[in-house]
A and B are shown apart, each in its own frame.
Chain A
Amino acid sequence: METHFDIQLAKLKTRLFKMCSLVDEQVQFALRAIEEEDMSLAEMVVERDKKVDKYDVKIEKICQKLFALNQPVAMDLRLIMSAMTINTNLERIGDIAVNIAENFIRLRTKPAFLEKTKINQMSMIVKEMLRNAIDSFIQNDPKLAEKVIRSDDELDALNAENHKVLIEIMKEDKESIEPAVTFLVTSRELERIGDHATNIAEDVFFIVEAELIKHKYEKFLFSEVENVEKEIDEEIDEDEKRNGDVQKN
């Protein structure tokens, strides 16, 4: 039997799915604006951020109402908790898409040195990570979420490589300093989108598997140790004892 609460939850999911596709488009358009040197597309990304913000507020209000009026538990509780954090991550990704677009609007053209950097490669990975993170949420698929989490290291490495390349470019040609700094920031922004996509993937684990893996997914995904949760709890307890943080009752 579909209850009134089920209908409210479905509404929350629908809004969140719309937010997902809107933010996904914002990132795609911001990157395409650079690729195709399309100023009007970049301006459209900036303009559409208002819509992302409206969705952000709306979703937060729905979650607040669901918590206050329905006292959700179990799967429902995890879904609504995660909906709030996924919403925040999506809103931040939307802001980053705007930053990328605005930076490009200031430059107006794509510098020739861009081919020497890994920006294109990062863009491809970011787009795939974000799409997979969204799909893993829509399809409740922790395997796909795991793929997102595993991609993050590659993105971090490319960002570090970009730093080296762009600093060399600045050293060689003073005229390139301004555009190089812009793309240094863009590289960092792309790396941040990867982090937010990873956060969304972690939430998918929480919804489906009831496992809180954030900040410790290396242990969950790459370790053979069983009962990682317990091991981490013990580590925290030991740290607190060592630092005298635990209150003496």
Chain B
Amino acid sequence: MDIKISVKNLEAFYGKNKVLKNISIDIPRNKVVAIIGPSGCGKSTFLRCLNRMHEVVGGTITGSIQVDGEDLTKTDPVLLRKRLGMVFQKPNPFPTMSIFNNVAAGLRFNGVRNKKILTPIVERSLKQAALWDEVKDNLDDSGVNISGGQQQRLCIARTLAVDPEVILMDEPASALDPISTSKIEELIFELKKNYTIVIVTHNMQQAARVSDSTAFFYMGELIEYDKTTKIFTNPANKQTEDYVTGRFG
């Protein structure tokens, strides 16, 4: 298996409170890995550890996280977040920026100012995010004047514009209606051809639909990690079985 991210013995803390306990997991390249589990199980913390945002909120970690064999904890967080882009639960386009500038924001932050360079990248990113056809005539409109589903795809386009290797998604469709959710899910199938995706979701059906592998977290521990088909047809662990069948959590 071609491993993109290798996590070994990861423990995450808020002060003295241990929120992730001895997590070891390999995330394969160009696959979608879903992280499921009840509220407070540590799934979002795990995602934030992957791009060192856990440290931004005062957390600490032990253990190792490697991307393509390179130790994450020794990488500059700004450069790291360019490689591991993140999409959040609520669409968060920059409200004072146009659609175009929202997508170009990450590139501008990295020093790219030339519009001749920016324009094709913005177009490519919006096409990759399956939004181009809907906004191509209104690129100068505000990024918040489009629907919630479109805003979320705009945020995905913004993430794609800086050409990341990994996309981390934290409940990317939980604030969206079923049609927008379905568009995001279809987009995930397209994006995995070029990117490695880790998605945290409360919605088990969504995890089942979009992911290749699923990890079940409970109380900061990785209970089971296997192919999604296995997790949803014959999980090895009783707790996983109870969770996916809706008997607890």
Contacts and interface: CB of A to CB of B under 8 A. Distances in A.
Interface of A: 1, 3-5, 64-65, 68-71
Nearest to B130: A1
Given A3-B182, A3-B186, A4-B186, A68 B209 contact: no
Contacts of A69: 208-209, 228-229, 232
24 contacts: A1-B186, A3-B182, A3-B186, A4-B185, A4-B186, A4-B189, A4-B209, A5-B209, A64-B233, A65-B229, A65-B233, A68-B208, A68-B229, A68-B232, A68-B233, A69-B208, A69-B209, A69-B228, A69-B229, A69-B232, A70-B208, A70-B209, A71-B205, A71-B208
Interface of B: 182, 185-186, 189, 205, 208-209, 228-229, 232-233
Most buried by B among A64, A65, A68: A68
Contacts of B232: 68-69
A4 B183 CA distance: 11
A16 to B, nearest CB: 19
A4 B182 CA distance: 10
A3 B183 CA distance: 9
A68 B244 CA distance: 10
A84 to B, nearest CB: 14
A102 to B, nearest CB: 35
B189 to A, nearest CB: 5
B197 to A, nearest CB: 14
Contacts of B233: 64-65, 68
Of A1, A5, A64, A69, the most chain B CB neighbours within 10 A belong to: A69
Nearest to A4: B189
Given A65-B229, A69-B209, A71-B205, 8 more contacts: A3-B182, A4-B185, A4-B209, A65-B233, A68-B232, A69-B208, A70-B209, A71-B208
Contacts of A1: 186
A57 to B, nearest CB: 14
A4 B208 CA distance: 13
Q: Which of A1, A4, A70 has the most CB of B within 10 A?
A: A4
A3 B188 CA distance: 11
A79 to B, nearest CB: 17
Nearest to B189: A4
- Enumerate the 3 nearest inter-chain pairs by beta-carbon distance, A residue then B residue, closest first: A69-B208, A68-B232, A4-B189
B130 to A, nearest CB: 10
Contacts of B229: 65, 68-69
B127 to A, nearest CB: 15
A70 B233 CA distance: 12
A227 B47 CA distance: 55
Contacts of A4: 185-186, 189, 209
A70 B228 CA distance: 12
A166 to B, nearest CB: 48
Contacts of A5: 209
Contacts of B208: 68-71
A62 B232 CA distance: 13
B36 to A, nearest CB: 13
Contacts of A71: 205, 208
B30 to A, nearest CB: 15
B232 to A, nearest CB: 4
A9 to B, nearest CB: 13
Contacts of B182: 3
Nearest to A70: B209
Nearest to A1: B186
Nearest to B244: A68
A65 B182 CA distance: 19
Contacts of B205: 71
Contacts of B186: 1, 3-4
Nearest to B211: A69
A65 B231 CA distance: 11
A1 to B, nearest CB: 7
Nearest to A65: B229
A176 B228 CA distance: 59
A70 B208 CA distance: 7
A29 B185 CA distance: 46
Nearest to A3: B186
A113 to B, nearest CB: 53
B185 to A, nearest CB: 7
A155 B229 CA distance: 43
A65 B209 CA distance: 10
A3 B209 CA distance: 11
A3 B184 CA distance: 11
A4 B209 CA distance: 9
